[in-house]
């Protein structure tokens, strides 16, 4: 039986998934994330994983970690897919963002109100690691919620990042995006208070 969920329920659910993903990363149990709607930490095949170099936070770190692994393994003439399948079995216990993620998520709504959406997201993206993970989570939540202007542009250009989209959109869509991201940020703040 399918139930219709409100937009508020969906925001809360996706924020909870992102926070739980942070907890699982801390424990090195990222494979256990089985929630619908948010992209898995690591995809099934290497070709989908290769785009992670364009992501932020743990996904970018995973890609860097894979590159180190691949360079060590170059001498054995193994294919990327084979190296990747072994790499997926690795435990990522070094991705402990929980403490800093929590404090940065709590300050996000006020930072957007004070500094504006674009400058706040640019700051979070530039800082990488835990703040970069928050930037990445917001991007994924907007996609999961099917924020129409962003999703339509992503269909045209799959490498388009949220910041690039916001820099090239009109003021009306920027205002809509700001309201939506503030709503997401408030739920992210609540969920980190509860879960972390």
Domain ranges of the chain: 99-195
Half-sphere exposure in the Cβ direction for 15 (13 Å, CA): 27
Closest Cα to residue 38, out of 73, 62, 75, 12?
Answer: 12
Where helices occur in the chain by DSSP H, the ranges are 7-27, 46-49, 58-73, 80-87, 98-115, 117-127, 129-144, 148-156, 162-167, 171-195
Q: Split the chain (196 residues) into runs of 10 and give each run's mean pLDDT.
A: 76 90 77 62 79 82 83 75 80 72 94 97 90 93 93 90 94 96 96 88
Q: Say which residues have a Cβ less than 8 Å from residue 188's Cβ, sequence separation at least 6.
A: 15, 18, 19, 105, 108, 134, 137, 138
What is the rounded CA–CA span in Å between residue 143 and residue 171? Answer: 20
What is the structure's pLDDT at 111? 96
What is the rounded CA–CA span in Å between residue 15 and residue 19? Answer: 6
What is the structure's pLDDT at 40? 65
What is the structure's pLDDT at 142? 95
CATH number for the segment(s) 99-195: 1.10.520.30
What is the rounded CA–CA span in Å between residue 75 and residue 70? Answer: 9
Task: Indicate the pTM of the whole model.
Answer: 0.84
What is the structure's pLDDT at 87? 79
Tens-place pLDDT, residues 140-162: 999 999 999 999 999 998 888 99
What is the rounded CA–CA span in Å between residue 63 and residue 168? Answer: 28
What is the structure's pLDDT at 108? 96
What is the structure's pLDDT at 67? 85
The torsion angle over the Cα atoms of residues 122, 184, 30 and 5, rounded to 10 degrees, is -150
What is the rounded CA–CA span in Å between residue 79 and residue 88? Answer: 14
What is the structure's pLDDT at 1? 42
């Amino acid at each position: 039986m399918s139930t219709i969920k409100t937009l508020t329920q969906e925001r809360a659910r996706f924020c909870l998934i992102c926070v739980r993903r942070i907890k699982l990363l801390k424990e090195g149990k990222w494979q256990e994330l089985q929630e619908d709607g948010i992209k898995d930490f690591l995809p099934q095949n290497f070709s989908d994983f290769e785009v992670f170099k364009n992501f932020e936070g743990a996904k970018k770190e995973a890609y860097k970690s894979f590159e180190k692994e691949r360079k060590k393994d170059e001498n054995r003439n193994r294919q990327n897919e084979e190296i990747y399948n072994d790499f997926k079995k690795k435990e990522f216990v070094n991705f402990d963002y929980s403490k800093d993620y929590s404090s940065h998520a709590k300050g996000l709504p006020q930072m957007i109100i004070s500094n504006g959406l674009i400058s706040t997201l640019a700051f979070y993206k530039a800082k990488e690691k835990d703040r970069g993970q928050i930037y990445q989570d917001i991007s994924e939540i907007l996609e999961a919620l099917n924020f129409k202007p962003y999703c339509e542009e992503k269909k045209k250009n799959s490498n388009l990042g949220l910041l690039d989209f916001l820099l090239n959109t009109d003021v009306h869509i920027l205002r809509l995006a700001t309201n939506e991201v503030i709503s997401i940020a408030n739920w992210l703040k609540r969920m980190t208070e509860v879960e972390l």
